[in-house]
Copies of this chain bind each other. A is one copy, B any other.
């Protein structure tokens, strides 16, 4: 049995509305699977604003009583009592550190690729969703009509029509950027490396989220930087107040923070999202302290409410945000097509790109450009978002069923990874050692910090949901339970 840890301070209007709805569910006026009144109906009926009803439904959703279905409405969940809390707010150590977990990182990558392994470790998109037929047709057409473009170098900064498509999509996210501001990279990882290389001095300090994707931590170390991990909330993203404190700090001989590397939408592993107000505050605070923002938007198009959220770059009047992303989480990681909006760093970034990898492989760039322009991409994205929302729900439900009491987990609003907090006595490195022997892997929590943190946490990828995945979750849960035995 799980308990709700949601603290209610006083009762606000939306909480009262939520209470009424909850009463009806507990009285079984609305049964599991039933559709609840629409937001508009409830607003009229109770003479409250649309916003109040939305807040009320969000609260009930948080409490596990209801769940939304895109373009359909809100429905009563099947196990209203089996709700699970979100992980506690993180309290990272407030000092720069070098990431030194590369050996474990290598091992997990290696294990994940072993034949027969069910890997919940890799945050890669579901291959069954991929529009391979369409991509193949696009590829065949390019090879037939433009073989020279496919085999020659593109410009250093990438294929012009692709840069145009990306600039158009960014315009829809509130950013006014020119195609010439975009530099195509080998995935978002290269975009981050280039950005860190041109922004930071070796030995410098960069602020990151906590928990933070290990690829980011390893990259900061690779380019000779130390990372300060900033408290990050599973719903609201990085705490801007804490970031401001860190920016105001002089870290001994390391100096002040030179860059803030941050996911503003559906970050990895927490899946939270900065509000528009916090995105603006982030831009203002970083400008004040002369720290450059390196914004990682790799999950930005995978929000479950099917709209494109804004990015911090949209509030960037002073050209202080380097926006990085890729098609690796949306379309196909093997294409290795990412980008960075280079702004005032354009010359430096193009030069760094030139002398490290010259240009990005041409054929994948042409495939993505053509796929974006013929309109197949948005249709595919809508399908993928629904599938990931459903998979995340399925995995969450399975965790409720199989994991030990006291488990907490995130309720992401986008992306396809879950961050799970197990009871303190469950060391997830020890647990990993057990599950990998049974052919099941996940990502242990200690990889998500340069400090000794998150020993009882794990990240699970829910991009695929099938019987094998469900059995894998069950196995991890059972083994975790057995580790709690005296």
Write the A186-199 contact mask toward B (1 if CB under 8 angstroms, else 0): 11011001000100
A149 to chain B, nearest CB (A): 8
Query: Given A187-B357, A334-B150, A357-B190, are A109 and B362 also a contact pair (CB < 8 Å)?
Result: no
Q: Which residues of B contact A124 (CB under 8 A)?
A: 152-153
Task: Output the least CB separation between A224 and chain B (Å).
Answer: 7
User: Which of A65-73, A134-142, A249-257 interfaces with chain B?
Assistant: A134-142
Q: How many residues of A contact B (CB 8 A)?
A: 58
Q: Is A359 an interface residue (CB 8 A)?
A: yes
Pairwise interchain contact B136-A148, C-beta atoms closer than 8 A: no
Given contact pairs A136-B143, A334-B363, A363-B364, A358 touches B151 in the complex (Cβ within 8 A): no
Q: Within 8 Å CB of A363, what residues of B?
A: 139, 334-335, 361, 363-364
A351 is contacted by which of B102, B347, B354 (Cβ under 8 Å)? B102
- Given A127-B148, A332-B152, A218–B354 Cβ distance below 8 Å? yes
Q: Known interface pairs A215-B355, A219-B355, A357-B186. Does A151 touch B130 (Cβ–Cβ under 8 Å)?
A: yes
Contact check, A135 vs B151: say whether CB atoms are below 8 A apart. Answer: yes
Contact assessment for B334 and A357 in the assembled complex, using a CB-CB cutoff below 8 Å: no
Contact of A334 among B135, B333, B337, B362 (CB under 8 A): B362
A152 to B125, CA, bound (A): 9
Asked whether any CB of chain B lies closer than 8 Å to the CB of A15, the reply is: no
Q: Which residues of B contact A219 (CB under 8 A)?
A: 355-356
Question: Which residue of B132, B347, B361 contacts A364 across the interface (Cβ within 8 Å)?
Answer: B361
Q: Is A360 an interface residue (CB 8 A)?
A: yes
- The complex places the Cα of A182 from the Cα of B364 at a distance, in Å, of 23
Chain B's closest residue to A143 (CB) is B136
Most buried by B among A105, A148, A186, A197: A186
A152 x B127 contact (CB < 8 A):
yes
Flag if A361 contacts B335 (CB, 8 Å): yes
In angstroms, how far is the closest chain B Cβ from the Cβ of A19?
A: 48
User: Does A26 count as interface, using CB distance less than 8 angstroms?
Assistant: no
CA distance A221 to B1 in the complex (A): 60
A151 touches B132 (CB 8 A): yes
For A362, the closest partner residue in chain B by CB is: B334
| A125 CB to nearest chain B CB (Å) | 9
Residue pairs across A and B with Cβ atoms less than 8 A apart, 22 shown, are A102-B351, A106-B347, A106-B350, A109-B354, A113-B155, A124-B152, A124-B153, A139-B139, A139-B143, A140-B140, A151-B332, A153-B334, A186-B357, A189-B356, A193-B355, A193-B356, A202-B202, A218-B354, A335-B363, A336-B362, A357-B357, A364-B364
The 6 A-B pairs with the shortest beta carbon distances in the complex, nearest first, are: A334-B362, A151-B332, A336-B361, A186-B357, A361-B361, A218-B355
Q: A187-B358, A189-B356 known; 8 other A-B pairs, CB under 8 Å?
A: A106-B350, A106-B351, A132-B147, A140-B140, A193-B356, A334-B362, A357-B357, A363-B363
